[in-house]
Amino acid sequence: MRDNIILVKSKNIAARVIDDETVLMPISGSSKDICAIFTLNRSGSVIWSFIDGKRTLGQIKASILADYSVTPKKLKKDINQFLKDLKKIAAIKQL
């Protein structure tokens, strides 16, 4: 994904933080979708918290690089896979 894109969270996903994990649950769609619950680990929860419809992907990456011990190469690989997974469950979309 390009660093200049802006991501927004789906209005059809409810999110709750429990300890260091974020739980995502679809609130509309088919009965199959409604029964699905997704749990984000601490890293996923951090990325999820930065997705606000205002920050670019580049800004999100810069914030993570400044606050956490991760190489730019590892972050790029991991964040791209994570965002791909979030798109697959329709939890995010690009503006």
What digits encode the pLDDT tens for the residues 59-69? 999 999 999 99
Does the pLDDT at position 30 exceed 70? no
- The C-alpha atoms of residue 47 and residue 29 are separated, in whole angstroms, by 25
Say which DSSP state 89 is in: T
Tokens encoding 22 = 């974020």
Q: pLDDT band for 1, please (50, 70, 90 cuts).
A: confident
Q: Quote the pLDDT of residue 37.
A: 86
Reported as type and span, the H/E element at residue 84 is: helix 72-88
Predicted TM-score (pTM) of this structure: 0.86
At 28, give phi and psi (nearest 5°). Answer: -150, 165
At 53, give phi and psi (nearest 5°). Answer: 80, 5
Which architecture characterizes domain 7-94 according to CATH?
Answer: Alpha-Beta Complex (3.90)
The residue extents of the domains of the chain are 7-94
Does the pLDDT at position 40 exceed 90? yes
Give the 3-state secondary structure of residue 60. Answer: helix
Does residue 30 or residue 75 have the better pLDDT? 75
